Amino acid sequence: MANNVGLVYDPIYLEHETGAHPENPDRMRATMALLEESGLLARLARINARDATPADLALVHDSRYVEAVHRAAQEGGGWADPDTLITPRSYDVAARVVGGTLAALDAVVAGEVASAFCLVRPPGHHASSAQAMGFCLFNHVAIAAAYARQRHGIERVAIVDYDVHHGNGTQDAFYGDPGVLYVSTHEFPFYPGTGPAAEIGAGEGRGCNVNIPMPHRSGDAHYRRAFEEIVVPVLRRYEPQLILVSAGYDAHFADEIAGQQLSVDGYGALVSMIVDAASELCDGRVVAALEGGYHLVALPWCVRRTIEIMRGDAATPDPLGTVPPREPVGFDAMLAEVKALHEP
């Protein structure tokens, strides 16, 4: 019997109009079209997004930064950094992204759905307390982790981030905090330049920040090993009460923003391991929220596969297939270094 999986999507997410920027509304249009054509959309429980309040945003972001983004949008927008555009609708859209993620979390914690996927944009994991960067304005997954603890009294939250880029904003939010485990696989060295294995947390949070810096051209087998040998054991040791996923699909081989070699099947294997760990550790409570992924065929198929796995459905073969495996330079040495840093 299929699991009851919730979906957050709001048409407002199209209103962050970025033109020819890689992070543009076509990402949502293409993904929603595939979900609808496949019949999967009709089998999901729709969760209504709400607007995040300033207090919600202040769980991670400096209130002066929140107001600066609001003011910039009201004044017509502009570039927050060389990659990150604020448009006249960006504050309202990004607040609904956060609010949608929090609504999904509420629904999962209340048992209204078994798990949830948030089809949202713009992404969030690069946004720090007081800085927009890397296409990101507000850090929806980090805010959700803080909200889960404050609103629902959850003591241990795990965030698994498989975007191709390191989530520097999420790492910064919880670097000294043992109440949040942050685990990231990301191409390294690559934008934003953070996330070496040696960044393991500080103070009481030491050991609760797990960076797995994947070499250029890592593929399905390498990511699978990273999850089997590091991510899943670390989750088991931490015993989270909730797993949040920064679901970035820009490590797919077709995505030109980076240089990794994952396929839809490869992503499916990672999601399966997260879902299985959640079933074992936290009653299956998973909230996944979209981060990156810019190829307009690969992204929709990765999202579809993720939701199929969350529901327990049979995986639909994807049209993109795989690429011939390559052996990235330094993978075994990297894996050994991370293990040495995080083995009990």
Residues with Cβ within 8 Å of residue 146, at least 6 apart in sequence:
59, 60, 173, 180
Count of Cβ atoms closer than 10 Å to residue 155 Cβ: 13
- Report the DSSP beta bridge partners of residue 232: none
In contact, 150 and 121? CB cutoff 8 Å: no
Exposure string of 164-198, with b = 16+ CB inside 10 Å and e = fewer, is bbbbbbbbbbbbebbbbbbbbbbbbebbeebbebe
Question: Could you tell me the strand order of the sheet in which 115-118 lies?
Answer: 45-47, 5-8, 115-118, 286-290, 242-247, 157-161, 180-187, 209-214
Catalytic residue among 16, 61, 70, 126: 126
3-state secondary structure of 30: helix
Residue 61 known to be catalytic? no
* Distance separating alpha carbons of residues 32 and 25, to the nearest angstrom: 11
Residues with Cβ within 8 Å of residue 90, at least 6 apart in sequence:
16, 69, 72, 73, 77, 122, 137
The distance from CA 179 to its chain's CA centroid, rounded to whole angstroms, is 18
Nearest to 134 by CA among 70, 195, 217, 88: 195
- Report the DSSP beta bridge partners of residue 286: 115, 243
Give the strand pairing for 5-8 and 180-187. Answer: unpaired
DSSP 68-123: HHHHHHHTT-EEEETTEEE-TTHHHHHHHHHHHHHHHHHHHHTTSSSEEEE--SS-
What separation in angstroms does the CA of 15 have from each of 96, 172, 305? Answer: 11, 29, 26
Instruction: Report the catalytic residues.
Output: 126
